Amino acid sequence: MPVLCSSCSEKRAVLKRPKTGHSLCKACFFWAFEEEVHQTIVAAKLFRSGETVGIAASGGKDSTVLAHVMKLLNERHGYGLELMLISVDEGITGYRDDSLETVKRNQQQYELPLKIVSYEELYGWTMDAIVKQVGLKNNCTFCGVFRRQALDRGAIMLKVDKICTGHNADDVAETVLMNILRGDIARLRRCTAISTASEGDGVVPRCKPLKYAYEKEIVLYAYFKKLDYFSTECIYSPNAYRGYARTFLKDLESIRPSSIMDIIHSGENLSVREGVKMPVQGTCSRCGYISSQALCKSCVLLEGLNRGLPKLGIGKHHRLHGKILSQQPLTEHEQRKLKSVDF
| Residue list for the binding site for ATP | 56-58, 62, 88, 166, 171
> Which one of 55-63, 104-112, 185-193, 263-271 is the stretch in contact with another protein (CB under 8 A)?
55-63
Per the CB < 8 A criterion, the answer to whether 225 and 183 are in contact is no
Least distance between another protein and beta carbon 114 (Å): 18
**Rg, Å, the chain Cα set:** 21
Question: Which of 154, 166 has the CB closer to another protein?
Answer: 166
For another protein, the binding residue among 225, 250, 311, 339 (CB under 8 A) is 250
Measured CA to CA, the distance from residue 172 to residue 180 in angstroms comes to 12
Gap between the Cα atoms of 23 and 25, Å rounded? 7
In the complex, least distance from residue 215 CB atom to another protein, rounded to whole angstroms: 5
62 lies in the site for another protein, by CB under 8 A? yes
**DSSP symbol at 161:** S
Question: Which member of 231, 239, 266, 331 binds another protein (CB under 8 A)?
Answer: 231
Question: Segment contacting another protein (CB under 8 A): 165-173, 178-186, 192-200, 325-333?
Answer: 165-173
DSSP helix/strand/coil, 215 = helix
Closer to another protein by Cβ: residue 3 or 197: 3
Binds another protein (CB under 8 A): choice among 237, 258, 292, 335? 237
Which stretch in 60-68, 112-120, 176-184, 274-282 sits in contact with another protein by CB under 8 A? Answer: 60-68
Using rule CB under 8 A, residue 158 touches another protein:
no
Q: Is 253 in the site for another protein (CB under 8 A)?
A: yes
Binding to another protein by residue 228, rule CB under 8 A? no
The residue within the footprint of another protein, chosen from 33, 46, 47, 63 (CB under 8 A), is 63
Cβ nearer to another protein, comparing 9 with 306: 9
Coil, strand, or helix at residue 7?
Answer: coil
Q: Compute CA distances 65 → 22, 58, 165, 196, whole Å.
A: 22, 11, 11, 22
State how far the Cα of 270 lies from the Cα of 188, in Å rounded to an integer: 8
Outline where DSSP puts E strands in the chain.
15-16, 23-24, 52-56, 82-89, 114-118, 162-164, 206-207, 282-283, 290-291
What number of residues does the chain have?
A: 343
Q: Which of 29, 27, 234, 26 is nearest to 144 (CA)?
A: 234
Nearer to another protein, 159 or 223 (CB): 223
Instruction: Select from 89, 90, 128, 215 the one that contacts another protein (CB under 8 A).
Output: 215
> Least distance to another protein from the beta carbon of 336, Å?
35
Does 60 bind another protein (CB under 8 A)? Our answer is yes
Which of 209, 211, 217, 205 lies closest to 191, judged by CA? 211
- Quick check: 106 binds another protein (CB under 8 A)? no
**Strands 290-291 vs 82-89: parallel, antiparallel or unpaired:** unpaired
Contact 245, 54 (CB under 8 A): no
Cβ proximity to another protein: between 62 and 89 the closer is 62
Task: Determine, following the binding rule CB under 8 A, whether residue 148 of this chain makes contact with another protein.
Answer: no
Residues paired with residue 196 on neighbouring β-strands, in sequence order: none
Distance, CA of 169 to CA of 162 (rounded, Å): 20
- Let me know: does 79 contact 47? Beta carbons within 8 Å: yes
Answer yes or no: are the C-beta atoms of 52 and 155 closer than 8 Å.
no
Among 90, 128, 152, 171, binds another protein (CB under 8 A): 171
Q: Tell me how far, at minimum, the Cβ of 144 lies from another protein, in Å.
A: 12
How crowded is residue 97: how many other Cβ atoms within 10 Å of its Cβ?
Answer: 11
Contact call for residue 219 and another protein (CB under 8 A): yes
The site for another protein (CB under 8 A) is made up of 2-3, 12-16, 23, 58, 60-63, 166, 168, 171, 215-216, 218-220, 223-224, 231-234, 237, 246-247, 250-251, 253-254
